[in-house]
Structure 1
Amino acid sequence: MAMSSDLQWRYWAVAALGFAAVLWVLGDVLLPFVTGAAIAYFLNPLVTKLTLAGLPRALSVTVLMLAMIGIVILAGLLVIPSVIAQAVQFTQTAPDLLERLQQFVTARFPNMQGVEEALQNSLVAMGETIRERGAALAQGVWRSVSGVVSVLIFMVITPVVAFYLLLDWPRVVKGADDLLPRQHAPVIRDLAGQIDRSIAGFVRGQVTVCLILAAYYATALGLVGLQFGLAIGVVAGLISFVPYIGAIIGGVLAIGVALWQFWGAPGSIGAVVVIFAIGQILEGNILVPRIVGNSVRLHPVWLLFAISAFGMLFGFTGMLIAVPLAASVGVLVRFGLSQYLASSLYQAPGPAQPLNEDDRL
């Protein structure tokens, strides 16, 4: 006996509410498992390529996991401490930087004497806020990662989860396919394929773009000699996950520091501007079209809303699943719109047919 559509919608709604409830209650506990699943999803295409090349799947997974762990350890020893040190130093230097900016503005624009006091108060307050909140923000992010499980447990569980998921990925996919309701299995498989292409195209591609941009900005700003260039470059590259945000925030910070550090040397200031201009050209015309592709339809505003909303509701774990859920919702909305446009509710009624003699009263 076929289940009515109303009853099916109720089941799906209960499943969605149950998922949200589990995420709400166990968000911090699920963090290493969600992170491990994300790593497994990210590395699975490479494992598949190695398997097709003739390597056993277990050996392919082992090689990739060891390479990833080596990269993380290398970054933790060489890059991350320097970035954190520069970020902390920047939060301590921000009040002095903003005070010099206020002196520069009042010295070169004497007609602004009427607003000098308000400008000074605003800049001083902004600097103190950066100093006070900068370290608190970093500590808050760190506590969200290590609040329930310690850093050691997190670092152990995540690669173990990623390893076993990669090892059993074909069986996991087949098991999920076997559980699909037979009546809707073809449609669900088609939607799952679209969601996978959307997530893979955006997440895998955009992560690669972010890493390239972070390396480019950090290296270029370091060669120019910009103070805090490593931290600003890494931050600008990594938050390029949301289009335009990384370039705007990184550019404002870098140019502001350049004005403070290189005033009187317009060549150095211009070099910082050129670095971010080249970065935007690379991102918009080379990296994103070639790596991410033009078929991924994930609007920046929708992405920013999803990250903000899920981060506020479910913490750091919510931010991790925000992009996959945003991509999934986008595919489902497009599917719903296509169904609506093909339905009689949207289609104009056809011309009235004349009645036959037998149909007339």
Structure 2
Amino acid sequence: MFEYVKQWYQRRFSDPDAVTLVLLLVISFLVIMLFGDLLAPILVAVALAYLLEWAIQRVEKLGIPRLSAVALVFTTFLAINIILLVFLVPVIWQQTVALVAELPQMLAQMRVLLERLPELFPEFISEENISTFIDSLTTRTLAFGELLLSQSLSRIIGIMQLMIYFIVVPLLIFFMLKDKHELLHHIHRMLPTNRRLITQVSGEMNQQIMNYIRGKAVEVAVVGIFTYVCFALFDLRYAALLAVLVGLSVLIPYIGAVVVTIPVVMVALFQFGWSGTMAWVLICYLIIQILDGNLLVPLLFSEAVSLNPVYIIAAVLVFGGLWGFWGVFFAIPLASLVKAVLVALSSQSAPVEDAGTKT
């Protein structure tokens, strides 16, 4: 057994570049695990810098110098965020408070509607099943509402910390974009000399991460806007809040769409009851989800590494459990990173295996 492990180690890590790559990944993992909260503003700035870098590259192709391109794209980015902060955030906040306040009434009406199901389908649904389901749903929904409000109040208490984010993160983004080449040069100087595999993996992942962040930003915007238009046409209450939730749900592959369906169904059922209007609202919502998964995602992420849904869900659970929101957001790039590292380690060990076979 020991000899087998020794042969495996020699086969995989005989190359100093492979050892350097593994050590860099381990150190990076430990730093994020231990100092993740302190590094959060930097992670936010890096993600947004990747998003804006794509736009800057497009502006540079028009013959505009990089500094001018950075200033133009960064100013536009700030203007869009200020508009959203002034016009959208207050509406979302008001609708969130109103929705939480109406939860008891909404659940009471839902109880009445659900209690009719045993009369319609006596062979499949009993009154006891409905009663147990409603009690469980009421308890969990009210607990979630209280948690949401308490978290919101705690965020208001920490408003100074939030203001620091609004000041520090934009500054980090600007200087990351402005001094991109200088910062990359400093990073390269700090890396060990045996960095062939690091260069190989980083070169592959750099473009993937940029495409992923850009694609997710576009997907959130498109899904959110179309969902709002759809809900507004039916005059659905809390249309803006639900549209934002549906848009943000695409950040969590597969799981997000399932979770966000619950508030959509609850609001539609509360407002329209068991009616044709409710059915049309849900049909339109289902069409948006289908178009997102089968049309928008393939168009936006055509350059991404193909990953099996099992790996993606596993990555969401593992990295989300380790790093919270950012682990969920970067689940697909992190899974792609693991795949790229495994491919790099396998490819560098292939000549050793072939040589052993020939002898």
TM-score (norm 2): 0.81
Alpha-carbon shift at residue 279 of structure 1 (Å): 1.1
The reply on whether 1:83 has 2:104 as its aligned counterpart is no
Q: Which structure has more RCO (C-alpha within 8 Å, separation ≥ 6)? A: 2
Whole-Å Cα distance in 2 between the matches of residues 44 and 298 of structure 1? 25
Q: How far has the Cα of 1:329 moved from its partner? A: 1.5
Do 1:236 and 1:249's aligned partners in 2 also have CA atoms closer than 8 Å? no
- Are 2:220 and 1:203 equivalent residues in the alignment? no
* Residues 208-223 of structure 1 aligned to structure 2 (within 5 Å): 208-223=218-233
Query: How does 1:335-346 map onto structure 2 within 5 Å?
Result: 335-338=344-347, 342=350
Aligned pair count reads 345
Q: 2:106 is matched with which residue? A: 97
TM-score, scaled relative to structure 1 = 0.80
Residue 159 of structure 2 corresponds to residue 127 of structure 1: no
Residue by residue, what CA displacement relative to the aligned partner does 1:280-308 show, whole Å, maximum 9, x if unpaired? 34323432222221543244443444344
Aligned counterparts of 1:332 and 1:209: Cα–Cα separation in 2: 28
State, as a whole percentage, how many aligned pairs show the same letter: 24
Q: What SS does structure 1 have at the residue aligned with 2:115?
A: helix
Following superposition of structure 1 onto structure 2, how do residues 1-150 of structure 1 map, counting pairs within 5 Å? 5=14, 12-110=21-119, 111=122, 115-117=126-128, 119-137=130-148, 139-140=150-151, 150=161
- Note the 1:274-293 alignment, pairs <5 A: 274-293=283-302
- Shift of the alpha carbon at 1:48? 2.2
Check whether the contact 1:144–1:316 (CA below 8 A) recurs between aligned residues.
no
- Taking the aligned partners of 1:315 and 1:308, their CA distance within structure 2 comes to 10
Measured in 1, the distance between the counterparts of 2:227 and 2:64 equals 37
Task: Select between 84-93 and 230-239 the one with higher mean Cα deviation.
Answer: 84-93
Q: In structure 2, how many angstroms separate the alpha carbons of the residues matched to 1:16 and 1:243?
A: 25
Which of these residues, 160, 164, 173, is aligned with residue 162 of structure 1?
173
Q: Kindly tell me: are residues 52 and 99 of structure 1, through their superposed partners in 2, closer, same or farther at Cα, counting changes over 3 Å?
A: same
Structure 2: segments with no counterpart, 5+ residues: 1-12
Contact 2:317 2:328 in 1 (8 A): yes
Aligned position for 2:4:
none
Deviation at 1:321, TM superposition (A): 5.2
**Bigger Cα displacement from structure 2, 221-230 vs 174-183:** 174-183
Distance 2:41 2:104 in 1: 37
Q: How far apart in 2 are the matches of 1:86 and 1:11? A: 51
Q: Residue 248 of structure 1 aligns with which residue?
A: 258
Contact 2:320 2:326 in 1 (8 A): yes
The residue aligned with 1:297 is 306
Aligned to 1:192: 202
For residues 139 and 195 of structure 1, the distance between their equivalents in structure 2, rounded to whole angstroms, comes to: 39
Task: Identify if the C-alpha distance between structure 1 residues 114 and 160 changes in structure 2 by more than 3 Å, giving closer, same or farther.
Answer: closer
**SS across alignment from 1:84:** helix
**Alpha carbons 1:144, 1:315 under 8 Å: kept:** no
C-alpha contact 2:104 2:142 (8 A) present in aligned 1: yes
CA RMSD of aligned residues (A): 3.5
Deviation at 1:225? 1.1
The CA deviation at 1:248 is: 3.0
Are residues 1:232 and 2:247 paired? no
The 3-state SS of whatever aligns with 2:116 is helix
Which one has the largest radius of gyration? 1
Letter in 2 for 1:90: L
